[in-house]
Structure 1
Amino acid sequence: MILVTGATGTVGTEVVRLLARRGERVRAMTRNPRGVSLPAEVVRGDFDDRESLDSAVAGVGAVFLLDAPGPWLERHDLAMLDAVRSHGVGKVVKLSAIGTGEETEPRVGGWHLPGERALRAGKAAWTILRPSSFATNTLHWASRIKAGQPISNLTGNGAQGVIDPRDVAEVAVVALTTPDHAGRTYTLTGPELLSTPDQVEILRNVLGRSIEITDVPLEVARKQMIAAGRDPDFADGAMRGQRFIAEGGNARLTDDVARVLGRTARTYATWADDHRAAFD
């Protein structure tokens, strides 16, 4: 049995689907299982409710550890890893973030670092996945594109190795189901460095329509996030990450997807073409 946390999110849903297709027994954890339809045993699990974690982990042999980024990650990761230890789970694959532990300035990756350290110190076989920016992050542009409004650019010409989450899910499934990736940390990127203007240009070509861009100062974006109800600590961390990207700090590519899957990572253009209906 393989437990997938964050099972209703972008990567988690795909991991569940791929595992089920392979014939694996899958348990999908979500805070609110009512109405969730997945090819798995769906269970309630809340990282802040230890009893629910014990129930979710009982009887499983491996865990895919995924949680939404934020300052709560340390607490959530450590709670799940304590449950893993208590129940003798043999393998954990953790979804982390690119650059975790590599920069002195706290940013999104810093939220994952305590969990990574605890995982390495435990007895379970472990694999850590550190993906770059997801192609699906640009789905939040869809409503503006449909309305003919400009795309907000917080990162200037800063480029990233934008990755298709489907590739992240495929790597996770391989790590969960084969023994060859224990003790490995993979930095997962797409095959090319892309800035926000680059991605917008690709969408223009795929959709065959005009899309404008407007630069937004980070302080303005921070205020907008907080006004929309986001936690100020989350907003601060997010803005540090945006500044890091704008300054070229995330302009890196690896071949780790190809090393694990035996094929080149999907391009952003491929992702955009497959998801054109979301923007039309």
Structure 2
Amino acid sequence: MNNDPRILVTGATGNVGREVVAQLLDSGVAVRALTRDPGAARLPEGVEVVRGDLADPDSLRPGLTGVDAVFLIWPLHTAEAAPAVLDLVGGHARRVVLLGTGALADFGFDRQRDLLARSAASWTYLRPSTFAANALWWVPQIRRGDVVRGSHGALGMAVLHERDIAAVAVRALTEDGHDRASYLLTGPRVLSQAEQVRVIGTAIGRPLRWVELDRADAREQLLADGIPLSFVDVLLDGYASMAAQPPAPVTTTVQEVTGRPARTFLEWARDHAADFQPRPAAAR
């Protein structure tokens, strides 16, 4: 394995970024991980960890030195710095893979892709369906009991395992044939939020059920569950918009790119079963 950093991974301590780091290492690729707090990052041995903040484009320059490719994720709740970041990354790296976000009302998928295409010579754009990991928002409720309260319980989503997102990203970062490609990634089937809750129950061995709330109560529940205030109304508006449209298509892109079918939500729930279990009481 080449010890010189070749691929920079942003969001390296998040759900998807950790998987990208792990799968790159498994492929024998040298990895440099970007994080705002290197001292707190728990990443595998052999990863070079560097400090950087996407909200401050100039802070990225040291981490971009000597990098061939970049995996870029946009976890911020504002897109103000995005054009400058994309220009900077595209000017340093031969190849850029951007994981799109639907979390910003003023930074839609088309604009994200267009900025990427303008900034990078070689690029791949990943447009994901709903992350399966969004179900972790329900952890506080499920740890307390057998009911999950929220809005739009009937809303169907082709939820996507973070390992599958990472697998596509790693191939786009390390293989030819993905230049200027836009990939719509989904899980293998559509599940409503209420169905997702029941599947989590199956994975953890407890019968769980969904209770529907109106918007005002759902907003309070999301805030109580730890969703940032800046994102709560964006999320609820997104649910309402999705509910008013035909169901999103299910794609086979994960299998076409990686050679294996997308993982089911039950697989995801089993992988994360421990997250939903009540924490043991502190020893007295």
Answer whether contact 2:9 2:17 (CA < 8 A) is retained: yes
**What does 1:184-195 correspond to in 2, within 5 Å?**
184-195=181-192
Quote the RMSD (CA, aligned, Å): 2.3
C-alpha separation between the residues in 2 aligned to 1:180 and 1:21?
A: 21
Q: What's the CA shift for 1:272?
A: 1.3
CA 1:230 to 1:204, structure 2 compared with 1: closer, same or farther past 3 Å?
Answer: closer
Equivalent position of 2:3 in the other structure: none
CA 1:255 to 1:109, structure 2 compared with 1: closer, same or farther past 3 Å?
Answer: farther
Unaligned stretches of 5+ residues in structure 2: 1-5, 278-284
Note if 1:230 corresponds to 2:235. Answer: no
C-alpha separation between the residues in 2 aligned to 1:107 and 1:91?
A: 25
C-alpha separation between the residues in 2 aligned to 1:243 and 1:274?
A: 29
C-alpha separation between the residues in 2 aligned to 1:95 and 1:109?
A: 17
Answer whether contact 1:142 1:278 (CA < 8 A) is retained: yes
Equivalent position of 2:267 in the other structure: 270
Note if 1:95 corresponds to 2:99. Answer: yes
Moved over 4 A (4+): 106-109, 223-229
C-alpha separation between the residues in 1 aligned to 2:68 and 2:191?
A: 38
Q: What's the CA shift for 1:248?
A: 4.7
Note if 1:26 corresponds to 2:48. Answer: no
Q: What's the CA shift for 1:158?
A: 1.4
**What does 1:156-195 correspond to in 2, within 5 Å?**
156-195=153-192
C-alpha separation between the residues in 2 aligned to 1:250 and 1:65?
A: 28
Note if 1:41 corresponds to 2:48. Answer: yes
CA 1:180 to 1:51, structure 2 compared with 1: closer, same or farther past 3 Å?
Answer: same
Structure 1 range deviating more: 51-60 or 257-266? 51-60
Q: What's the CA shift for 1:69?
A: 5.0
SS where residue 34 of structure 1 aligns? Answer: helix
SS where residue 174 of structure 1 aligns? Answer: helix
Note if 1:11 corresponds to 2:16. Answer: yes
Note if 1:63 corresponds to 2:70. Answer: yes
TM-score by length of 2: 0.86
Answer whether contact 1:11 1:166 (CA < 8 A) is retained: yes
Equivalent position of 2:280 in the other structure: none
The amino acid across from 1:271 in the alignment is: W
SS where residue 176 of structure 1 aligns? Answer: helix
Q: What's the CA shift for 1:231?
A: 4.1
TM-score by length of 1: 0.87
The amino acid across from 2:219 in the alignment is: R
CA 1:17 to 1:160, structure 2 compared with 1: closer, same or farther past 3 Å?
Answer: same
Alignment equivalent of 1:76, drawn from 75, 81, 103: 81
Q: What's the CA shift for 1:235?
A: 2.9
Count of residues in Structure 1 that have an aligned counterpart in Structure 2: 269
Structure 1 range deviating more: 141-150 or 194-203? 141-150
CA 1:107 to 1:157, structure 2 compared with 1: closer, same or farther past 3 Å?
Answer: farther
C-alpha separation between the residues in 1 aligned to 2:171 and 2:19?
A: 13
The amino acid across from 1:26 in the alignment is: V
Q: Which whole-Å deviations, capped at 9, do the CAs of 1:193-244 have from their partners, x for residues lacking one?
A: 0001111222232333221321122233335556868344x33322211112
C-alpha separation between the residues in 2 aligned to 1:179 and 1:274?
A: 31
Structure 1 range deviating more: 162-171 or 204-213? 204-213
